[in-house]
């Protein structure tokens, strides 16, 4: 392995690379920002009487959203105001999500950090410094979080507007993990044979007669599947699953869902307990 020297590129004054180019690179692989497993929800999103939001990202496994504004060169006052304004518009429109404002710039100035410190505890805001690096004829982007002040249920009907298919999830997760969703659907068929998988961009839900019945959601990963069961929290239910060895990773009070992680083989091994809690969620949803 050899040591190499990268050449830093000034994007703001570059004749070829511009803000749209940066936006497209992030859109192709939004995980390069370091925000986790995020998906592009929208680009150039119209804001009422306020312009366009560069990127709206959503966490693949939770109700977190990120309002991302890109700035070439140094951060400016107008950029700060615009980012916070877009964040405020989105959080008011969709209060069921956890929103974080994200500023991406080539130069995060000390003055910017001093101004933002005034909002500490009131506005969840991330500042990410961007560097464009060149080696021979290759160019790459590097993102470094220089300020992390994230201080702050899921709307199933809205997500229906983001359709996907089985192939999308087999690629995003794996064929084995998507097959686990089939196994869990078979359990649900004991209570309602009309239920079917409903593929969306952020999760696999359930549907009946073309209408969403999302008392259970699936998020297939490469080696396992995460399910979210809409069920009121009780210590009895939690103890029942944990005593059976089911990996309950948490309970989301906002959405009212248990988060469960299942490895291959877990469904067959814990079929009785899973059937019990899935039926409870089904009955609570009052699916007709």
% of the chain exceeding 70 in pLDDT:
92
138 and 178, same domain (yes or no): no
Domain membership of residue 156 (yes or no) is: no
What local confidence, expressed as pLDDT, does residue 153 receive? 41
Range with lowest mean pLDDT among 141-150, 165-174, 222-231, 244-253: 141-150
The CATH number of the domain holding residue 238 is: 3.90.1150.200
172 and 116, same domain (yes or no): no
Assign residue 251 a region: left if phi > 0, alpha if psi is -120 to 50, beta otherwise?
Answer: beta
Taking only the tens place, the pLDDT of each residue in 61-77 is 778 899 999 989 888 77
188 and 110, same domain (yes or no): no
- When the pLDDT of each residue in the chain is averaged and rounded to a whole number, the result is 86
26 and 137, same domain (yes or no): yes
Q: Domain count of the chain?
A: 2
This prediction's pTM = 0.59
Report yes or no: 220 and 169 within 8 Å, Cβ to Cβ. yes
Which residues are CB-neighbours of 27 under 8 A, at least 6 positions away? Answer: 40, 43, 55
What local confidence, expressed as pLDDT, does residue 210 receive? 85
200 and 143, same domain (yes or no): no
Structural domain for 196, as ranges: 162-285
170 and 230, same domain (yes or no): yes
Collapsed DSSP state (helix, strand, coil) of residue 1: coil
What's the average model confidence in pLDDT over 227-241? Answer: 90
To the nearest 10°, the Cα dihedral for 33, 35, 40, 43?
A: -60
């Amino acid at each position: 392995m050899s040591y190499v020297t990268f050449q830093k590129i000034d994007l703001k004054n570059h004749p070829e690379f511009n803000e749209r180019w940066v936006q497209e690179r992030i859109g192709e692989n939004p995980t390069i920002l370091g925000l986790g497993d995020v998906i592009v929800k929208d680009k150039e999103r119209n804001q009422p009487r306020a312009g366009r939001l560069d990127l709206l990202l959503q966490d693949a496994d939770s109700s977190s959203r990120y309002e991302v504004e890109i700035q070439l060169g140094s951060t400016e006052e107008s950029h700060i105001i615009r980012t916070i304004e877009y964040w405020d518009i989105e959080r008011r429109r969709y209060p069921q999500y956890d929103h974080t404002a994200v500023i991406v710039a080539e130069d995060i100035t000390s003055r910017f950090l001093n101004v933002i410190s005034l909002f500490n505890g009131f506005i969840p805001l991330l500042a990410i410094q961007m560097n464009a690096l060149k080696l021979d004829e290759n160019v790459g982007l590097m993102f470094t979080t220089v300020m992390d002040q994230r201080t702050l249920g899921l709307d199933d009907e809205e997500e229906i507007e983001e359709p996907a298919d089985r192939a999308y999830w087999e690629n995003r997760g794996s064929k084995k993990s998507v097959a686990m969703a089939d196994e869990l659907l078979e359990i649900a068929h004991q209570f309602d044979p009309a239920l079917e998988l409903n593929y969306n961009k952020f999760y696999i839900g359930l549907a009946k007669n073309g209408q969403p019945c999302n008392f259970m959601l699936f998020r297939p990963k490469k080696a396992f599947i995460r399910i979210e069961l809409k069920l009121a929290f009780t210590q009895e239910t939690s103890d029942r699953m944990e005593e059976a060895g089911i990996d309950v990773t948490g309970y989301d009070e906002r959405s009212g869902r248990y988060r469960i992680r299942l490895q291959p083989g877990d469904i067959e091994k814990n079929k009785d307990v899973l059937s019990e809690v899935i039926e409870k969620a089904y009955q609570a949803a009052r699916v007709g």
